[in-house]
Amino acid sequence: MKLLAALETQTQLLKIKQEINQKVKSDIDQQQREYYLNNQLRTIQEELGMDEEEEFEKFRARAKEKKWPEAVAAQFEKELSKLEKYNPSSPDYSIQYNYIEFMLDLPWGEMSKDNLDLKHAQKVLDADHYGLETVKDRIIEYLAVLKLKGNMKSPILCLYGPPGVGKTSLGKSVARALGRKYVRIALGGMHDEAELRGHRKTYVGALPGRILSGIQKAGTSNPVIVLDEIDKVGADYKGDPSSALLEVLDPEQNVAFHDNYLDIDYDLSNVLFITTANTVSTVQSALLDRMELINVTGYLAEEKMEIAKKYLVPKQLQEHGIAKKSLRIDKAALAAIIDEYTHESGVRGLEKQIAKIARVTAKKIALEQEWPPVIKKEHLKEYLGLPTNIHDLQKGNEAPGVVTGLAWTQMGGEILFVESSVSSGKGVMTMTGNLGDVMKESATIAYQYIKAHPELALMTAEDFAAKDIHVHVPEGAVPKDGPSAGITMVSSMVSALRGRKVKSGIAMTGEMTLRGRVLPVGGIKEKILAAKRAGVKEIVISEDNRKDVEDIKPVYVEGLSFHYVKTIEDVISEIFD
């Protein structure tokens, strides 16, 4: 029994020893297998130039050169450690890898040196754009402060005005004048705020927002970013990008701009944002409050002539491969193109007509036909066809009841005719001409004012009650609305009721109240340009608009006389000979 017990003990000991040996052997085999496979993998990666360890070391070396805050450095190290733990074949690896690369590609506090030579900046701006003094002065002011202070929060400038006046290209000129990188972001039709702020990197196909992507491409923290067409940002169930822009375009908030993809605050205060818009009426009021509005108005015919000679003709000749000596457009021909073939505040249409002349000339040169080296007015019919711009010349003296008004549109200023006719009836007023609610209200107020003061029309109340008035604004297919036709409506009705024509060459703009006061209106400069184009000599305008007229450069108001009025009685006394 003793022998058996001893043997059993020995047997158990041997069994345990054997189990331990077996386990150790399998562990060593597993380690050797992993070591072998890892060596194989490393060799393959080296062959393919994919050495992970080397890649991570490169990341760390690049990170050391970055001028980023401590919080960002700690976040980077944390994200890199996370990447090192991932299996290269897992889908999360590539997401994390792209994120680390984006972090390293962003310029953290890396600035391009500003060219603070104000004379150079003025030269660049003058060379690229004719006129636009207000905008140029504002840029020079910004540079002057930057030169004195050495550092400042960049302002947010909003250039608004009709199409084709050079708002977007001004941004490029500003970048050139400052010696900064230029980034343009088109906002037209954007309806998802994630396009600006980025998607969280947990989403499939997540990308950083357009703002940080632009800065990454620029490679500096202080580029000039032009946000084009800010008035055409959409909004739907996905979000409202214009609300996302509130953070971007606020100098107090954009010091810590939060992009969803990056998930770390980024300083945008050194970026010079320039936004462009055709009209500011559709832009959120909170967004307008954050921007400095600069009105880029339309050009006079004389300014268009200079722009065509200095910029458009040489540019189109170069683009069509025509030598400067081979083609020239004389002054009279240019004046005729501006006057008879274009109808706009900007110069885009003018450029198209010059391009058409260049194309026809290029065809003649290619076919070895004869062509006139100097395009004169008589050649325009052959090159451009019949004139397309039938002049809305002032027609105020052709019949009683016809009065010229001045209107503002997104395309600039326009002249507008209001016609009234009187017939025997029961004191009814009819309105036609596709008028909006505000304009209909102006006509109703004008009618009720004359009804209350029939002496204006040299009538008694009984005579007035026996007359029907029809008010019509021609071009019935075009919708018309706005708050500046009041005095035009009342003048038209009084002229028709008196049976007297208004003075030749007179136009007017202003709103009226039921008490007969004349109120000021906006868009004065555009309206004055439209009046000049149409051959108007006198303008009736509210006394409160005097300051707007005095603000305008004398060259714009040359040849015009202004009648400043306070009441409807003043208006009526000015419009008849």
Q: Which of the residues are catalytic?
A: 484, 527
Are residues 227 and 275 in contact, defined by beta-carbon separation less than 8 angstroms? yes
Provide the 10 A C-beta neighbour count for residue 150: 9
User: What is the chain's alpha carbon radius of gyration, rounded to the nearest angstrom?
Assistant: 36
Identify the helix (H) or strand (E) that includes residue 419. Answer: strand 412-424
Phi first, then psi, for residue 411 (nearest 5°) are: -90, 0
Task: Quote the crossing angle between the two packed helices 91-105 and 70-85, to the nearest 10°.
Answer: 150
Is residue 438 helix, strand or coil? helix
Is residue 292 helix, strand or coil? strand
Are residues 337 and 375 in contact, defined by beta-carbon separation less than 8 angstroms? no
Q: Where are the alpha helices (DSSP H) in 48-166?
A: 52-65, 70-85, 91-105, 118-128, 133-149
Q: How far apart are CA 190 and CA 195, in angstroms?
A: 8
The two tokens of residue 217 are 């491409």
Identify the helix (H) or strand (E) that includes residue 227. Answer: strand 224-228
Q: How far apart are CA 522 and CA 59, in angstroms?
A: 58
Give residue 516's region: left, alpha or beta (phi > 0; psi -120 to 50). left
What residues pair up with 512 in beta bridges, in sequence order? 518
Q: How far apart are CA 390 and CA 339, in angstroms?
A: 10
Q: How far apart are CA 448 and CA 169, in angstroms?
A: 49
What residues pair up with 140 in beta bridges, in sequence order? none
Q: How far apart are CA 535 and CA 60, in angstroms?
A: 71
Q: How far separated are the first and last CA of the chain, in Å rounded?
A: 148
Provide the 10 A C-beta neighbour count for residue 127: 13
Q: How far apart are CA 382 and CA 385, in angstroms?
A: 6
Q: Which of 512, 467, 465, 466 is nearest to 490 (CA)?
A: 512
